[in-house]
Structure 1
Amino acid sequence: MPVQRSIFGRPVPAIPPRRMAVLLGTIAVFAVFTLVFTLPNSIPVGPSLGRFTDHKIALPKIPKQLSPSILNPFRQAAHAPPVQKNSTTGEVSWYTNWNWLSPFSSSVTLDENRSLLPPLEERPPIYTYYDHTISKDSDRKDAENKILLTWRRAWWAQGFKPIILSPAEAMNNPLYTELQLHDIEPFIKTELSRWLAWENMGTGMLCNYLLLPMGSYEDPLLTFLRRGEYPVLTRFDKLGSGLFAGSKVDITAAVKQALGNKELKAAKDFISAVVPETFEIEPKHEALAYYDPVTIKDKYGKIADDINEGGTTGMLMLNQLTVAHLHSTWQNLFTKGIAVLKPEAEHMSAMISPAYRLAEFLAQCPESPMPASCPPNRPRCKPCVASTPLKITTPPAYRNTTELYTIGTVPHPYTNALLTSFREDIDVRWIRRESERDPWLTTLTKELLGTGVSGAPRVIKFKQAVASKYGTAHSLWITPEKETPADLDWHFGFAIPRNATDTGKSETPVPGPERRPVQKPDPKDGPVPNPDDEKKEVSLMKRAIEFGTARTPDEEKLRGAIEAWNLADTEAWRFARAFLARSRVERLKWEEEEKKYAGGAGAERGKAEGWGRWFDDR
């Protein structure tokens, strides 16, 4: 007699063996399909640490034609995305795609060394007019070139493409012949030539090179102008001919109206040569500073006197003043200071030293002919005072605070491992048995995401901090294995000072580094190394840099192992390195193209002062 089984006193119906076999088979098939099609796709494409171990047992090998990753052997082989134009510099390469927030770039690029970056934001053109054909002495041309360079840097940092137009663009306009038929004053003729050059280029903005953006990146007016769409021809209240914005259709109509004006000879400027209804007047422009002759005479009389005499000293002083105002405006935006990130803080002082030195120069007061003055658009600014510089902190974690500027140093996992272990050499055994996974990124994002989060969401948060619109305006991320870029003036929009003023109201000679107020380290920002540890940190950093330039086969094996163990940290390092490299390539390509026009006006001349001298020991 068969046994009657029961649960909690209730009989359990018997299942025939045949049905039991069908049920178990169905479950087995479902489990296999789940493992084959779900599990591989949930693992990021990347290197396997197993091939770097010292085991003696041969592992089965999956043919490469099936998949580029051993983590997903059943995925069909696919071609990598094509190499894009201007997407490589040195050993750094990237691929631009809207899916840039994918945690691991190799899942899209199918290349471990190719980073996935966001599409470049299209920079709307902003034009200025400069007649380089007028005969001038070399000193005056150099002074004007410095002013133009300041104008270009300021607008480039705000997301625009600054372009200098010349009489060549005006003469290329079909309406230029009609302009020559008018018997008008040279000033109004130059003004009309300026508009003809703009009309020849099309939709955009026409700006006087003495008008500069001095406001936050998120300012509503600057945000609107960056869209590059101007439904009506617009000028700005009380800025005169400082800035116009409009479409090509509206610009053409305005130029034809001015040339057809029978009273053109009596016009004082282009605005008076057309009917008032031609322009829509925008009253709000708090982010624009215009250093026109009237403003200079009213607010900066010391400079106006020399400019009126035709000397170059006043122009050089004006350029120095505008640079100082750009810098002080930047400081007023970040009232909580500068955060030089220092995750795993115990032995990271040498690694973040370049970033900290940059923060010191950003925090100090710029040299200015009128240190206590304010920009014309910010009469209630807070002038920089060297006795109370901007605060510099070294927190271990990234803090998403609007009034705090962040400078991050993103190490390669090998660099981070050397410094955290504080030893000259590491091996695969140490990596697998003693080191934690992704320690740098985990510490960096601990305050934002907590501790119970995997590497993938941490990478996404990091990428947003580096490459989002907000992130690029509030942070800078560099890698310690390469020298700090020498062109960071373009990132910030002003010439970063090499010296500091004594006080905000003094006009005495600028003191050297030895007279700068030294900020004492905050104990909350982590330990400060003793002299012996500091020497060893420098030695370890040198070892990490040498490891990154040339590697033996054993070192290559070690590099692969530590990258496979720290997939998130490696992704963060590659992403930050590629993003900074692409920004430089974009600017250099644009600058090389612009050198062909307007006699190369506004270009950096002479030997640039690199960061090497800045970072010499004081």
Structure 2
Amino acid sequence: MPVQRTLFGRPVPAISPRKIVVLLATISIFAVITLVFTLPSSIPAGPSLGKFTDHKISLPKLPKQLSTPSILNPFRPAAHAPQYPQNSTSGESKWYENWNWLSPFSSSVTLDENRSILPPLSKRYPVYTYYDHTLDKDEELKDAENELLLTWRRAWWAQGFKPIILSPAEAMNNPLYAELQQKELEPPLKTEFFRWLAWENMGSGILCNYLTLPMGTYEDPLLSYLRRGQYGATHQLTRFEKLGSGIFLGDKPQITAALKAILANKELNSAKDFISAAPEDTFFVDPHHESLAYYDAQTLDDKYSKIAKSVGTAKGLGLSQLNKLMTSHLHSTWQNIFSSGIAVLKPQPAHMSAMVEPAWTLAQFLAQCAESPLPASCPPNLPRCKPCVSSTPMKVGTPPAYLNTSSLYTIGTVPHPFTFAALTSLRESIDVRWIRREMERDTWVSSLTKRTLGTGVSGAPRVIKFKEAVASDYGKAHSLWITAEKDIPHDLDWHFGFPIPKNTTDTGKSETPVPGPERRPQPVQDIQDGPVATKDEKVKETTILKKAKEFIKSRTAPEETIKGAIEAWNLADTEAWRFARAFLARSRVERLKWEDEEKKYAGGAGAERGKSEGWGRWFDD
């Protein structure tokens, strides 16, 4: 019989064990809540205990009410995707220009997984030259002049300008043309007037002889000033000391005033050139022009007499030799800028030899010396340059990580996560199970930025650092980034500003008539950093790389699932690959659009002629 308990002589009702548990739980919860809300207020004011700790953690202060819903909120309202311009695609590459291009993941802005955010295109200010294509000339001379114009266009385009060739059509469109025709002037001076009439018809900008080339770093103060397009600060036209009629800067009102003043000059018929016919206060003469090279007749006579004699004997052949000299100087200037050599990036180098081989070959060509009629010569603006000699070419290395060094040029090969995973694991087939259980996340971009960001950093800041290396003003002038699944673009001459050489020249040093092998200077061999694939490994890497390229181009439904899984598992690597692909595609679209506009003028002068498409010609060996 159960025991009957009493309290003050009265019986106490029995409580079941289940009810006791509920009661105790209620009491415990009440005690915890009371402790949390009453304990802080019960502590007396005094010195903080935080000073006894080794570190402090400051929490961000958030407003009580956010004005906009967080992008991380999965329940935020649906939003329309931004409107994209029509010229924002090229093949499978898609992009959207926005000042928020350093956002780690483009899809957070574009609402499109396959569209990358790129920085808005920098405005290219025009640089004008004048060429009369209507004159009757032999084909050899026309071809030579066309090559000079092409060299001029490439050099200025690579420095961020929009080179435009003017012709008599623009001069005749000027209202002052009729007044000029009434003047009896010598042919050279009349041609100079046509240049100015054509320039004034176009408006503000730079008037440049096509024998004037930019030869300096992208960050050069003068070239940076010219890229800003602000030429009227001095309220005068600007020319440069010792460059004669090589280059002028000015706004349209200044150009118009100078033309009218010179046409009103009563002694114009006896003037030797345009500058001497102008009033004294027309030009501001700038003595600083170290980044401009002008190959006029006086410069050829003083510094390159061999070329000057050739031009005087046979002008077509001489101008062809002059063009080779100018392109070799552009190339050697580039080599002098990047005195530390070329870095062909090779993250996780164990099985990357086949993937970086095109970039490695390109670097070898860039390290060579360009063909030149005067191999040991320097540009006229850099008399103390270091001439390129075949015996000591540029150093080419394959570091595993990106190095932010101004004197080092970087060529990076960006793989799709599938390509990178297949090569690093030497697997010809990949499934979702292997991706989920064995593959590490974002290995490529982590290895690439290890030296600049260290370890223990997530993928988002690494992608930002990568985007800066690719698309910032500094990055695009110091690096080239290609994708592993595409062939190297055939128009890289426009990226560098000079034709990429394939054949070496002599060393520029005197040698005995028949020197023995022991007396010849030994070429410097470039040594790849890290492991280099053996012949058998190279064959296997090539096979895997070929299958990976086919996988990226076309896929079946099951393979599409694998692609989606590997991209979701490697968000940072995928973002880097898409960004590099879109940036390179947009650069090509920009140039082709400009070329399509310019081919209608000046008889199509300055266009590439008789050159095969593609980079196959580089790999004939």
1:513-552 equivalences in 2 (<5 Å): 517=523, 519-522=525-528, 525-552=529-556
1:186 is displaced (CA, Å) by 1.1
Give the TM-score normalised by the residue count of structure 2: 0.87
Q: What is the CA–CA distance in structure 1 between the aligned matches of 2:616 and 2:484, rounded to whole Å?
A: 13
Give 2:573's aligned residue: 569
1:269 is displaced (CA, Å) by 1.2
Matched, 1:425 2:426: no
1:60-99 equivalences in 2 (<5 Å): 73-99=74-100
Q: What is the CA–CA distance in structure 2 between the aligned matches of 1:615 and 1:412, rounded to whole Å?
A: 24
Contact 2:133/2:167 (8 A) holds in 1:
yes
Read off the aligned partner of 1:541 and give its amino acid letter: L
Matched, 1:255 2:256: no
Give 1:238's aligned residue: 242
Q: What is the CA–CA distance in structure 1 between the aligned matches of 2:209 and 2:353, rounded to whole Å?
A: 45
1:520 is displaced (CA, Å) by 4.3
Q: Residue 453 of structure 2 is aligned with which of 432, 449, 467?
A: 449
Q: Residue 384 of structure 2 is aligned with which of 380, 386, 404?
A: 380
Contact 2:240/2:286 (8 A) holds in 1:
yes
Q: How many equivalent residue pairs?
A: 559
Aligned partner of residue 242 in structure 2, secondary structure: coil
Q: What is the CA–CA distance in structure 2 between the aligned matches of 1:17 and 1:300, rounded to whole Å?
A: 96
Q: What is the CA–CA distance in structure 2 between the aligned matches of 1:15 and 1:539, rounded to whole Å?
A: 67
1:331-365 residue CA offsets vs partner (Å, 9 max, x unmatched) = 00001000000001000000000000000000001
Contact 1:371/1:505 (8 A) holds in 2:
no
1:97-133 residue CA offsets vs partner (Å, 9 max, x unmatched) = 0110000000100000000000000001000000000
Aligned partner of residue 155 in structure 2, secondary structure: helix
Read off the aligned partner of 1:416 and give its amino acid letter: F
Give 1:55's aligned residue: none
Change (3 A) 1:307 1:111: same
1:287-326 equivalences in 2 (<5 Å): 287-326=291-330
- Could you tell me which runs of 5 or more consecutive residues in structure 1 were left unpaired when the two chains were aligned: 2-13, 25-32, 44-71, 509-514
Contact 1:364/1:386 (8 A) holds in 2:
yes
1:567 is displaced (CA, Å) by 0.2
1:518 is displaced (CA, Å) by 6.4
Aligned partner of residue 315 in structure 2, secondary structure: coil
Aligned partner of residue 407 in structure 1, secondary structure: strand
Q: What is the CA–CA distance in structure 1 between the aligned matches of 2:106 and 2:204, rounded to whole Å?
A: 37
Change (3 A) 1:409 1:312: same
Q: Residue 436 of structure 1 is aligned with which of 427, 433, 440?
A: 440
Read off the aligned partner of 2:440 and give its amino acid letter: E
1:297 is displaced (CA, Å) by 1.1
Give 1:157's aligned residue: 158
Contact 1:500/1:516 (8 A) holds in 2:
no
Read off the aligned partner of 1:347 and give its amino acid letter: H
1:199-348 equivalences in 2 (<5 Å): 199-231=200-232, 232-348=236-352
1:239-294 residue CA offsets vs partner (Å, 9 max, x unmatched) = 00000001111111111111111111111111111112111110000000000001
Q: What is the CA–CA distance in structure 1 between the aligned matches of 2:525 and 2:197, rounded to whole Å?
A: 54
Contact 1:363/1:389 (8 A) holds in 2:
yes
Read off the aligned partner of 2:567 and give its amino acid letter: E
Read off the aligned partner of 1:111 and give its amino acid letter: D
1:372-417 residue CA offsets vs partner (Å, 9 max, x unmatched) = 1110001111111111110000000000000000000000000000
Matched, 1:592 2:596: yes
Q: What is the CA–CA distance in structure 1 between the aligned matches of 2:491 and 2:139, rounded to whole Å?
A: 25
Q: What is the CA–CA distance in structure 2 between the aligned matches of 1:602 and 1:516, rounded to whole Å?
A: 40
1:505 is displaced (CA, Å) by 3.7
Contact 1:386/1:516 (8 A) holds in 2:
no
Read off the aligned partner of 1:130 and give its amino acid letter: Y
Read off the aligned partner of 2:200 and give its amino acid letter: E
Matched, 1:183 2:184: yes
1:613 is displaced (CA, Å) by 2.2
Give 1:118's aligned residue: 119
Which structure is larger by alpha-carbon Rg, 1 or 2? Answer: 2
State the Cα RMSD in Å.
2.5
1:10-43 residue CA offsets vs partner (Å, 9 max, x unmatched) = xxxx99959959999xxxxxxxx99xx99x9576
Moved more, 73-82 or 286-295: 73-82
Change (3 A) 1:615 1:517: farther
Q: Residue 492 of structure 1 is aligned with which of 490, 496, 499?
A: 496
Matched, 1:481 2:482: no
1:311 is displaced (CA, Å) by 2.9
Contact 2:129/2:207 (8 A) holds in 1:
yes
1:516 is displaced (CA, Å) by 10
Q: Percent identity?
A: 69
1:562-582 residue CA offsets vs partner (Å, 9 max, x unmatched) = 000000000000000000000
Give 1:28's aligned residue: none
Aligned partner of residue 77 in structure 2, secondary structure: coil
Q: What is the CA–CA distance in structure 1 between the aligned matches of 2:449 and 2:609, rounded to whole Å?
A: 42
Contact 2:375/2:506 (8 A) holds in 1:
no
Q: What is the CA–CA distance in structure 2 between the aligned matches of 1:517 and 1:572, rounded to whole Å?
A: 37
1:303 is displaced (CA, Å) by 1.1
Give 1:171's aligned residue: 172
1:171-191 residue CA offsets vs partner (Å, 9 max, x unmatched) = 000111110111111111111
Aligned partner of residue 374 in structure 1, secondary structure: coil
Give 1:416's aligned residue: 420
Q: What is the CA–CA distance in structure 1 between the aligned matches of 2:277 and 2:179, rounded to whole Å?
A: 15
Q: What is the CA–CA distance in structure 1 between the aligned matches of 2:492 and 2:331, rounded to whole Å?
A: 13
- Could you tell me which runs of 5 or more consecutive residues in structure 2 were left unpaired when the two chains were aligned: 1-6, 8-26, 38-61, 513-520
